Amino acid sequence: MATNATSTSILADQEKAAPLQFLDLGIQFAQIRAEVMQAVTHVLETQRFVLGPEVEHLEAEISNHVGCRFAVACASGTDALILALLAAGIGPGDEVITTPFTFVATAGAITRVGAKPVFVDIDPNTYNLDPAKIHHALSPKTRAIIPVHLFGLAAEMRPIISLAAQNGIVVIEDAAQAIGAVCHGQNVGTIGSMGCFSFFPSKNLGGAGDGGIVTTNDANYADRLRLLRVHGSRRKYEYEILGMNSRLDAMQAAILRVKLRYLNQWTEQRRRNAERYRRFFAQSNSGGHVALPVEPDGMRHVYNQFTIRCTERDLLREHLLGKKIPTEIYYPYPLHLQPAFAYLGYQDGSLPHAESAAREVLSLPIYPELTEDQQRTIASSVNHFWDRGNATHEEKE
């Protein structure tokens, strides 16, 4: 690992060389370049490019990191969801309850296996699936619940697990954004029947392309997942079931193994950055206008995103863009109102908390290497928007 002096020098050079980015993976790579290149070179020398020892080692290391018995790597976080649903035997005629306030892959995976997504509104404070509303969505066709640990904050899993157990329903955790998050002493990915993670580059543990993994404590699920990811075949040209091609590349596994060694450090830096934001906003006049992310008792947030909320979101974003401060909106439209899911029949107003969140959320840079000065500038710029009165006042100036 890079020394503190080296890391500080790299950060200083990067900050001078380039404008602020929403996510600056170049700084991260500069710190671990030698290790990554060594790992990549090793794969090239072995000429083992698909599955193989590197993937097996990554699976064992992820299993140990998450705290589960089995981890089965695959080609993407989306495939992780599809494989988990297939492993649970979910398909045409089945219903799966999930949140409308998430990336499309969550509901898309349900549709891809032939099942029907059933959307339940979110808790407006956490943006996660509201457990109190799930029972209203249950039907004789309900086979699974997919809670999403959005932005790095675990969903409230205890009532979800209890309800699922009472009704014989499978719980599949969408933990794509939340590796390392904790819910009442349990790591996400170990609470439901299966947990699905993404290694997309923007994730807290991101590769150099697509990748994913499914975690489970159930040996039967693990066996079925391994079978499904390689066309349903254990022996060459013999197919027990109809599977798919979803194998993780050895190159991605090798890079992820390097990055995994740094994940705890990077997570703590994200959490430190979140606390800095809280401190800066507490010192300002924006407190009555901006809602900050919550971290309920018993939860450990890993801040894949630091998402604030305000009614003047679009004007605030325009103001920040003028200050050369990048932001992102996750997500501008809830899934139940997307054209791709129009066949489900939801209308504007069906799920009001998700719809309101989509109009008001704004994510600020939170990556581990973000400096205190950069954060101070970001917070000051947000505060300045409110100090000038309001959006209407600013437009008149």
User: What does the domain layout of the chain look like in residue ranges?
Assistant: 4-24+263-396, 32-260
For residue 282, the model assigns a pLDDT of 87
What is the rounded CA–CA span in Å between residue 379 and residue 325?
10
For residue 51, the model assigns a pLDDT of 84
121 has a pLDDT exceeding 60: yes
CB-based burial, 149-182: b 16+ in 10 Å, e otherwise? bbbbbbbbbeebbebbeeeebbbbbbbbbbbbbb
For residue 397, the model assigns a pLDDT of 42
pLDDT band at 55 (very low <50, low <70, confident <90, very high): very high
Q: What are the structure tokens assigned to 363, written together?
A: 């994510």
262 has a pLDDT exceeding 50: yes
CATH of 4-24+263-396, one of 3.40.50.1100, 2.40.128.260, 3.40.50.720, 3.90.1150.10: 3.90.1150.10
DSSP tag of 122: B
Q: What is the mean pLDDT of residues 357-366?
A: 98
Grouping H, G, I as helix, E, B as strand and the rest as coil, residue 182 is: strand
Determine the Cα angle at 280 with ends 373 and 10, to 5°: 20
150 has a pLDDT exceeding 50: yes
What is the rounded CA–CA span in Å between residue 171 and residue 161?
7
Q: What are the structure tokens assigned to 293, written together?
A: 């992310």
| Within this chain, domains 4-24+263-396 and 32-260 share the same CATH topology | no
Contact 86, 196 (CB under 8 A): no
For residue 13, the model assigns a pLDDT of 47
Radius of gyration of the chain (CA): 22
For residue 208, the model assigns a pLDDT of 96
What is the sign, positive or negative, of the torsion defined by CA atoms of 315, 318, 324, 329? positive
From the list 380, 396, 346, 353, the residue with the least C-alpha distance to 118 is: 346
Residues 6+ apart with CB under 8 A from 96: 85, 90, 110, 115, 116, 117, 118, 142, 143, 144, 145, 146
**Which runs of consecutive H residues, i.e. helices, occur in the chain?**
4-17, 25-46, 52-66, 77-87, 104-112, 131-134, 157-167, 219-228, 250-260, 263-282, 313-322, 352-360, 372-387, 391-396
Per-residue pLDDT tens digits for 65-116? 999 999 999 999 999 999 999 999 999 999 999 999 999 999 999 999 999 9
Per-residue pLDDT tens digits for 294-309? 999 999 999 999 999 9
Q: What is the mean pLDDT of residues 343-359?
A: 97
pLDDT band at 204 (very low <50, low <70, confident <90, very high): very high
For residue 165, the model assigns a pLDDT of 97
pLDDT band at 8 (very low <50, low <70, confident <90, very high): very low
Grouping H, G, I as helix, E, B as strand and the rest as coil, residue 151 is: helix
Determine the Cα angle at 341 with ends 95 and 170, to 5°: 25
15 has a pLDDT exceeding 90: no
Per-residue pLDDT tens digits for 265-295? 999 999 999 999 999 998 876 667 899 999 9
What is the rounded CA–CA span in Å between residue 294 and residue 278?
10
For residue 388, the model assigns a pLDDT of 66
Contact 117, 142 (CB under 8 A): no
CATH of 32-260, one of 2.170.120.40, 3.40.50.300, 3.40.640.10, 3.30.1950.10: 3.40.640.10
- pTM for the whole thing? 0.91
Mean pLDDT over all residues of the chain? Answer: 92
pLDDT band at 394 (very low <50, low <70, confident <90, very high): very low
What is the rounded CA–CA span in Å between residue 26 and residue 175?
25
Share of the chain above pLDDT 90, in %: 86
360 has a pLDDT exceeding 90: yes
Contact 67, 206 (CB under 8 A): no
For residue 389, the model assigns a pLDDT of 56
Contact 293, 307 (CB under 8 A): yes
395 has a pLDDT exceeding 90: no
